[in-house]
Amino acid sequence: MIALLTVGVALAASRAEEDAQPLGHYLEPVEIHQVLLDAMPTLSDCYRYTAAKGRVIVGEVFIDFVIDPSGEVSEARVRSSRSELPDLDACLVERVGALVFRPHHEEPVEVGYPFVYRDAALQPYPMVFIKQRELDLLFLYAPEGSGSMQQVIEALKPAP
């Protein structure tokens, strides 16, 4: 009876430890994009605040940010802006900096995301840009008629 109880405690402790660990090696682009989409109402408040001051804009603000292995954003900054409204840019940087993503085993993930304003609203962009991640060729998809896989790989290599 005592042996069973000890084993049960050990299993419970190891499961709790597993739950505390990151769930996967990579933080996938689709996961990052989903967090950004879920945050759109909060991020849209930046635009509504600017519009309430009588400054309606059409344009984009491109934000770069870094997701640490803990899932927290450690750096957020404006890469480029066509808003010409520093308070809008600062609001987006602040809100993106407060986002929390899934913990992961990867080095910090550098991400870029354009916040596009059209038709008096923030429009979700269809993808995120992850910097300096090696391609996993097992998951590389080449559309039919795009040539051999070697041609596709050569086309993806950075120019010298």
Question: pTM surpassing 0.85?
Answer: no
Give 153's contacts (C-beta < 8 A, 6+ positions apart).
137, 140
Closest CA to 43 of 135, 114, 104, 144: 114
Tens digit of each residue's pLDDT (9 = 90 or more) over 58-92: 788 999 999 999 999 999 999 999 887 888 899 99
C-alpha 105/C-alpha 67 separation (Å) is 11
Tens digit of each residue's pLDDT (9 = 90 or more) over 91-141: 999 999 999 999 998 889 999 999 988 766 778 888 888 887 654 444 444
Q: What is the DSSP letter of 124?
A: P
C-alpha 152/C-alpha 21 separation (Å) is 36
